Structure 1
Amino acid sequence: MSEAILTTNGGPIVDAYAIPLDEIDLSDPELFRTNSIWPYFERLRNEDPVHYCKGGDYGPFWSVTKYNDIMHVDTNHAIYSSEATLGGVALRDQTEGFFLPMFIMMDPPKHDAQRKVVSPIVAPGNLAILEGTIRERAGKILDSLPINETFDWVDRVSIELTTQMLATLFDFPWDERRKLTRWSDVASAGTSYGDEEAEKARRAELLECAAYFSELWNQRVNATEPGDDLITMLAQGEATKNMEPMEYLGNILLLIVGGNDTTRNSITGGLLALNENPDQYKKLRDNPTLVESMVPEIIRWQTPLSHMRRTALEDTELGGKQIKKGDKVVMWYVSGNRDEEVIENANSFIIDRDRPRQHLSFGFGIHRCVGNRLAEMQLRVVWEEILKRWPATPIEVVGEPERISSNLIKGYASLPVRIPG
Structure 2
Amino acid sequence: MADGASGLGDQARAEAYALPLEDLNPGDPELFRTDTHWPYFERLRAEAPVHWCKESEFGSYWSVTRYNDIMSVDTNHQVFSSGAALGGITIRDARPDLRRPSFIAMDPPKHDVQRKTVSPIVAPANLAVMEPIIRERAGRILDELPVGEVFNWVDRVSIELTTQMLATLFDFPFEERRRLTHWSDVATCLPMPGALCETEDARQAELMECLAVFTDLWNQRVNKPPAGDLVSMMAHSDATRDMTPDEYLGNIILLIVGGNDTTRNSISGGLYALNKFPAEYDKLRANPGLIPNMVPEIIRWQTPLAHMRRTALVDTEIAGQPIAKGDKVVMWYVSGNRDEAVIENPEAFRIDRERPRQHLSFGFGIHRCVGNRLAELQLKIVWEEILKRFRHIEVVAEPKRVRSSFVKGYEELPVVIHA
The two structures have a TM-score, normalised by structure 1, of: 0.95
Instruction: List structure 1 segments (4+ residues) > 4 angstroms apart after TM superposition.
Output: none
The answer for the alignment partner of 2:418 in structure 1 is 420
The answer for the alignment partner of 2:250 in structure 1 is 250
The answer for the alignment partner of 1:342 in structure 2 is 342
The answer for the alignment partner of 1:207 in structure 2 is 208
| 2:213 is equivalent to residue 216 of structure 1 | no
1:261 is displaced (CA, Å) by 0.2
The answer for the alignment partner of 1:310 in structure 2 is 310
Secondary structure at the counterpart of residue 16 of structure 1: helix
Q: Distance in 2 between matches of 1:325 and 1:18?
A: 32
The answer for the alignment partner of 1:297 in structure 2 is 297
Q: Is the 8 A contact 2:118 2:234 kept in 1?
A: yes
Equivalent position amino acid for 2:399 in 1: P
The answer for the alignment partner of 1:9 in structure 2 is none
Q: Distance in 1 between matches of 2:56 and 2:137?
A: 45
Secondary structure at the counterpart of residue 96 of structure 2: coil
Superposition pairs for residues 8-407 of structure 1, below 5 Å?
A: 15-192=15-192, 198-224=199-225, 226-390=226-390, 393-407=391-405
1:400 is displaced (CA, Å) by 1.4
Q: Distance in 1 between matches of 2:294 and 2:418?
A: 23
Secondary structure at the counterpart of residue 326 of structure 1: coil
Q: Distance in 2 between matches of 1:87 and 1:199?
A: 16
Secondary structure at the counterpart of residue 97 of structure 1: helix
The answer for the alignment partner of 2:408 in structure 1 is 410
The answer for the alignment partner of 2:4 in structure 1 is none
Q: Deviations over 1:263-321 (max 9, x none)?
A: 00000000000000000000000000000100000000000000000000111111221
1:98 is displaced (CA, Å) by 2.0
* 1:96–1:197 Cα change, 3 Å: farther
1:237 is displaced (CA, Å) by 0.8
Equivalent position amino acid for 1:398 in 2: V
Equivalent position amino acid for 2:162 in 1: T
Q: Distance in 1 between matches of 2:159 and 2:188?
A: 15
Equivalent position amino acid for 2:30 in 1: E
1:192 is displaced (CA, Å) by 4.4
Equivalent position amino acid for 1:189 in 2: C
Equivalent position amino acid for 1:399 in 2: A
Q: Distance in 2 between matches of 1:125 and 1:230?
A: 16
Q: Distance in 2 between matches of 1:116 and 1:277?
A: 40
Q: Deviations over 1:359-385 (max 9, x none)?
A: 000000000000000000000000000
Q: Distance in 2 between matches of 1:190 and 1:231?
A: 27
The answer for the alignment partner of 2:3 in structure 1 is none
Q: Is the 8 A contact 2:13 2:40 kept in 1?
A: no
Q: Distance in 1 between matches of 2:95 and 2:373?
A: 31
Equivalent position amino acid for 1:169 in 2: L
Equivalent position amino acid for 2:392 in 1: P
Q: Distance in 2 between matches of 1:96 and 1:107?
A: 18
Q: Distance in 2 between matches of 1:91 and 1:98?
A: 15
Q: Distance in 1 between matches of 2:23 and 2:130?
A: 48
Q: Is the 8 A contact 1:150 1:418 kept in 2?
A: yes
Unmatched runs of 5 consecutive residues or more in structure 1: 6-11
Q: Distance in 1 between matches of 2:144 and 2:95?
A: 42
Q: CA RMSD for the aligned pairs? A: 1.5
Q: Distance in 2 between matches of 1:374 and 1:95?
A: 32
Equivalent position amino acid for 1:203 in 2: Q
1:95 is displaced (CA, Å) by 2.1
Q: Distance in 2 between matches of 1:210 and 1:320?
A: 44
Q: Deviations over 1:317-371 (max 9, x none)?
A: 1122100111100000000000010011111100001110000000000000000
Q: Deviations over 1:89-113 (max 9, x none)?
A: 0001122322211110000000000
Q: Deviations over 1:228-285 (max 9, x none)?
A: 0000001111100000011101100000000000000000000000000000000000
Q: Is the 8 A contact 2:162 2:259 kept in 1?
A: yes
Q: Is the 8 A contact 2:167 2:177 kept in 1?
A: yes
Equivalent position amino acid for 1:19 in 2: L
Unmatched runs of 5 consecutive residues or more in structure 2: 1-6
Secondary structure at the counterpart of residue 15 of structure 1: helix
Q: Is the 8 A contact 1:80 1:311 kept in 2?
A: yes
The answer for the alignment partner of 1:8 in structure 2 is none
Query: How many residue pairs get matched?
Result: 408
1:56 is displaced (CA, Å) by 1.5
1:197 is displaced (CA, Å) by 5.6
Secondary structure at the counterpart of residue 317 of structure 2: strand
Q: Is the 8 A contact 2:87 2:99 kept in 1?
A: no
Equivalent position amino acid for 2:210 in 1: C
Q: Distance in 1 between matches of 2:35 and 2:99?
A: 31
Q: Deviations over 1:186-215 (max 9, x none)?
A: 00112249x996111111100000000000
